[in-house]
Structure 1
């Protein structure tokens, strides 16, 4: 492995949320897993505390060059490149947008307010849902609900890992104006237990995430493919449960993740609710491939 080749250090089984779970049709899962592994490996570069910002940018540029067929340097980018070549309806921009976010991570360590955090999520989170929709032949009409759910998942993860991110790589996603308004400081993230001000800030951020989850929960009835509706229903249920946990628990000193049995139960109930809920309108057709034809 040369200086710019990397392998993902985490697997899809280590995520809070199902990534290309068995709910999805097998032919859909393959490109989504290729996308996930590309994202995971690039994220590892952005989070590597041993690399300078310049080294991170160099390596992320190599991801882009390999994805676009201009280089063979990064093995982790090749499966996604092959998936894109095999299916011309899949769009590379959803991976390139992620690289934009990871380049930000290489150089930006603070976010002034919620709007700035949402701008980041537009590149770090929204492209994931857009690629999943793209892989199912679903067009842009449902992006707002998908973007909202993906951004909610991202913010939940930021809250869960707020102490670790600060201690390990001095990165703070919690909006600075929110911390200040609640009487908290960035330094509070390094404590073994959250201060009252930090707990208040986390509660307010979780409450600001509720409308995103609510909007994201409107997505399943808009989709034609049952398996995808079940997957998104499960993810929305997990996001809601974890966000509720963060309203009650301190991520610096208490467990804010679900155990595997808990996650399976919550996801199963979320999928079951989708089955019981009739679509409010005619589902969006698969625009790219005409799957619903």
Structure 2
């Protein structure tokens, strides 16, 4: 049997819209984070594989889950993550949640409304943020803002890749009711340029995603770990820039991804902004109350 690793697309953590275990994160956490990423990336590539049947995709996802839970040692990504989690006495809950989303990718090609898309994000994206918070020992009180950020990142990606997802996978994450309200058709996603009705739908969804990202803004100062706060601030800066592009551009015909120089600029901006916010917070805490 072909191993799951052999079905990888070739995409790595360096190809994502956001940093993964970057130099900002403390070195003691990077091996675990990369083990989690590689497990998730492998499962994602299986769900998106262009030639595997749905039955085979689900069988591979089941195999990854079984070996993550200790029932076998043939799939390197599952074994590596299992051992990495065991070293930290962490349960596999977040990785198991993500597998639910990839099974949905195999069997669910259309979404009726925004709530269904958010339900998908609950399993495809939110567990990733929760995992990062758990790795750093953060409180579950930070989950709400993290969930909003992760959902925003996921929907940004859906909007960026809406044409490719439709053409290559016949998968549409744009809510059916939003397309219908704008007078747009699913088939328009296969065009080289979005008609005005589809643009109206896409720009409206981007504006709704921007609201999610506004809800996530407190996260970088809610977390206690300074380096994690820096990483979150950088990710937030990337997401904010991408959603601004998606509010005015056509993802079928225009660039809606960040180039290397933009990535660098927004990384530095995020780091500087987070450092300043932390400094202001410390001064506010240490400043004596009036009359004290």
Deviation at 1:139? 2.7
2:77 counterpart residue number: 76
Cα distance per residue 1:201-245 (max 9 Å; x no partner) = 111101101121111111011111110000000000100000000
CA distance in 1, matches of 2:240, 2:61: 32
Secondary structure, aligned partner of 1:18: coil
**Structure 2 gap segments, 5+ residues each:** 283-292
2:4 counterpart residue number: 5
Q: How does 1:133-144 map to 2 (within 5 A)?
A: 133-144=133-144
Cα distance per residue 1:82-118 (max 9 Å; x no partner) = 1111110x23000000000000001000000000000
After TM superposition, the score normalised by the length of structure 1 is: 0.93
Q: Is the 8 A contact 2:206 2:243 kept in 1?
A: yes
Superposed CA RMSD in Å reads 1.4
**Structure 1 gap segments, 5+ residues each:** 283-293
Q: Is the 8 A contact 1:5 1:73 kept in 2?
A: no
Cα distance per residue 1:60-102 (max 9 Å; x no partner) = 00000111110223122122111111110x2300000000000
Count how many residue pairs are aligned between Structure 1 and Structure 2. Answer: 280
Cα distance per residue 1:102-149 (max 9 Å; x no partner) = 000010000000000000000000000011111101131110000000
Secondary structure, aligned partner of 2:173: coil
Q: Is the 8 A contact 1:4 1:62 kept in 2?
A: no
Secondary structure, aligned partner of 2:5: coil
CA distance in 1, matches of 2:100, 2:237: 29
1:25 counterpart residue number: 26
2:160 counterpart residue number: 160
Higher share in helix: 2
Q: Which has the larger Rg?
A: 2
Secondary structure, aligned partner of 1:110: coil
Q: Is the 8 A contact 1:12 1:18 kept in 2?
A: yes
Deviation at 1:280? 8.6
CA distance in 2, matches of 1:128, 1:5: 20
After TM superposition, what 4+ stretches of structure 1 lie above 4 angstroms from structure 2? 279-282
